[in-house]
Chains A and B, each alone.
Chain A
């Protein structure tokens, strides 16, 4: 089990992405890196920033960042811990999460709207990472 939003979890996610044929196919034209940010609150003492660089169906780089200043990704998705958990548990569709303002997205909306299938496959990858959430 990997603690959610730890360096080990992020590396396990990278491995899950790179071993997913479904993601490779769905995201074969995708070019864009992300910050996945867990907002401070509850057991999360301070904002946690995960960086994932996705390029043509593979994850080129993934790491935990000390803060937002390390990288300048094309997209930033921000949500609270309970919301991230619902997404990873497939209890909340990310699109629904954004529409209900539980998740905030910054970046090129045109690129994002064309990548729904890739996003679904990405969520599938997260479900394959054995995850322990903070209590």
Chain B
């Protein structure tokens, strides 16, 4: 099967049995790979009774047809399961080298079931898989774990994905960390690993992905590289990392300040990629075959002196910076370091902590609750302390480890928590780009910016060949709902390929890459339906897990207007956007599920009876 290694590794952690399963070519053709394939595959294996942290929750690491090929910015993998954070579809992806190395080891994906009796890690080297004892690794942080495994398994160049103490302690938003500081951060996949006593996965080998049409593929690769290099977005990312957007979008109210209560806070510029480049930056890191290199390597001095830090990224400088009104760049870099080492999602961790700051400053949380910590706006030190407490489930950290929804629920202010279905909003305020409100409300994994980056489209990155057009960022309209649905379908396809959202050549080049790798001979008109099929698949799976139309809601605070004469913002009008989006998606207004007709159109008729 061109474009694939052709097999999944099945690991039953309870029995220790390892086996293989051939990939179903029909299923790959339908769902491409990555998270799209994972949703269809796991649909038959989980339901509303599946305990996300129980042995019965299957955990799938999956790649796609472009991963590990010469295609640029396709060095990614997806990790999927029922999320302990949301109870819904859990999906997270990460860059680095793990995805390609998994393919080089001989497999497209690995499915874990059951629970190991004692800490364990999986090693796959050149097609040979083995479970190994990880008792000596339990309690180690993610960097120590990777170093120890590298030392143990000498001889093969490896990439390692692992959990830190947060995953071991079942923190609901524990991340999977790979290649030192790359994170599959969202939806708590690290906690699922921890629940299975699975500390790490080490992969490597000499395998090669077979290509259907190497010459055509190679031509598409070269053209894609050139397109990415010419793209000013990529140039900004190279120069300033993901935090390069701070300096630009702060003037639109995109970056949230003081826990979503201020449109503009000018000191945030001190956290931007430009400042970082001129101060603490010591180097850059690129994922496999990436020509951008947005990864930052920094060094900080002072009270948290650290020689080498992976990051901070945009989400981290916002979550640990502007959200608590701290302009301490070195502090946010250290927060990034802590989250990487403990294995925590910086978005959920930072946002939950910022919510605690807000409750403290409103007198809802007291010093008694915080163990004497003063959560004063602008002071990042308590946030760093709380991060350690979360990772180790100590003090207030034990509650914060459950996320902002749980924190709000404990103090009777759940509606003030900035989350959708338990997943904290990423650092793009929907009052700056109303399309993001719709994305957050309807994303299959809770509030997520990588299931549809409407902020980027309306900032100036439309995809005209797919009729994804530039629009007014503040206009809630039927047209906005239509564009949002298309962007979500497009990015859903990206999450199946698996391709980085910073890779934005023309859609025709993406098509050429996919056809060149697989030989599927798809047309441009089939791209968005491919994305929509996977998107609706995830919706159906969420329906099976209990989601209804009532889940598609934004938190109240981001529906309140922000007032600042220097920045134009507007809350999304969900009374316009949501019904329009439901019509476009052909979703039932009560169940929230797609109609039988739409499912049949998308080739999902076998699931209609469910």
**Interface residues of A, Cβ cutoff 8 Å to B:** 93, 95-101, 105, 108-111, 113-117, 120
Contact = CB atoms under 8 A, between A and B. Distances in A.
B256 interface: no
A116 B247 contact: yes
B273 A113 contact: yes
11 contacts: A95-B460, A96-B459, A96-B470, A97-B460, A100-B461, A100-B462, A109-B236, A110-B274, A110-B278, A113-B240, A113-B248
Nearest to A97: B460
Ranked 10 nearest A-B pairs via Cβ: A99-B460, A114-B274, A109-B239, A96-B460, A110-B277, A100-B460, A113-B274, A98-B232, A113-B247, A110-B239
B275 interface: yes
B389 interface: no
Contacts of A99: 232-233, 459-461
B251 interface: yes
Contacts of A98: 232, 460
A111 B460 CA distance: 21
Nearest to A103: B232
Contacts of B274: 110-111, 113-114
Q: Select the residue from B235, B238, B460 with max chain A CB neighbours within 10 A.
A: B460
A117 B251 contact: yes
A77 to B, nearest CB: 11
Contacts of A116: 247-248, 251
Interface in B22-69: none
Contacts of B300: none
Given A99-B233, A114-B272, A116-B247, A109 B461 contact: no
A99 B364 CA distance: 44
Nearest to A104: B232
B534 interface: no
A114 to B, nearest CB: 4
Contacts of B239: 108-110, 113
A114 B470 contact: no
Contacts of B436: none
B269 interface: yes
Contacts of B348: none
Contacts of B247: 113-116
Given A95-B248, A100-B470, A120-B251, A113 B236 contact: yes
B233 to A, nearest CB: 6
How many chain B residues sit at the interface, stated as a range, is 20 to 34
B244 interface: yes
Contacts of A100: 460-462, 470
A96 B462 CA distance: 11
B232 A105 contact: yes
A69 to B, nearest CB: 25
Given A97-B460, A114-B272, A114-B274, 20 more contacts: A93-B460, A95-B459, A96-B460, A98-B232, A99-B232, A99-B233, A100-B461, A109-B235, A109-B236, A109-B238, A109-B239, A110-B240, A110-B277, A113-B236, A113-B239, A113-B240, A113-B244, A113-B247, A113-B272, A115-B247
A93 B249 CA distance: 12
A6 to B, nearest CB: 29
Contacts of B461: 99-100
Interface string B113-148: 000000000000000000000000000000000000
A114 B251 contact: no
B273 A110 contact: yes
A111 B235 CA distance: 13
Contacts of B460: 93, 95-100
A114 B269 CA distance: 8
Contacts of B459: 95-96, 99
Q: Select the residue from A99, A110, A117 with max chain B CB neighbours within 10 A.
A: A110
Nearest to B230: A101
A99 B235 CA distance: 10
B609 to A, nearest CB: 46
A91 to B, nearest CB: 12
Nearest to B464: A100
Nearest to B233: A99
A99 to B, nearest CB: 3
A54 B331 CA distance: 34
Nearest to A92: B460
Nearest to B246: A113
A24 to B, nearest CB: 17
Contacts of A95: 248, 459-460
A105 to B, nearest CB: 6
A8 to B, nearest CB: 32
A79 to B, nearest CB: 13
Nearest to B232: A98
Q: Select the residue from A100, A109, A113 with max chain B CB neighbours within 10 A.
A: A113
Contacts of B233: 99
B277 to A, nearest CB: 5
Nearest to B275: A114
Contacts of B235: 109
Nearest to B276: A110
Contacts of A105: 232
Nearest to B456: A99
A108 B274 CA distance: 10
A108 B235 CA distance: 10
A109 B208 CA distance: 37
Nearest to B460: A99
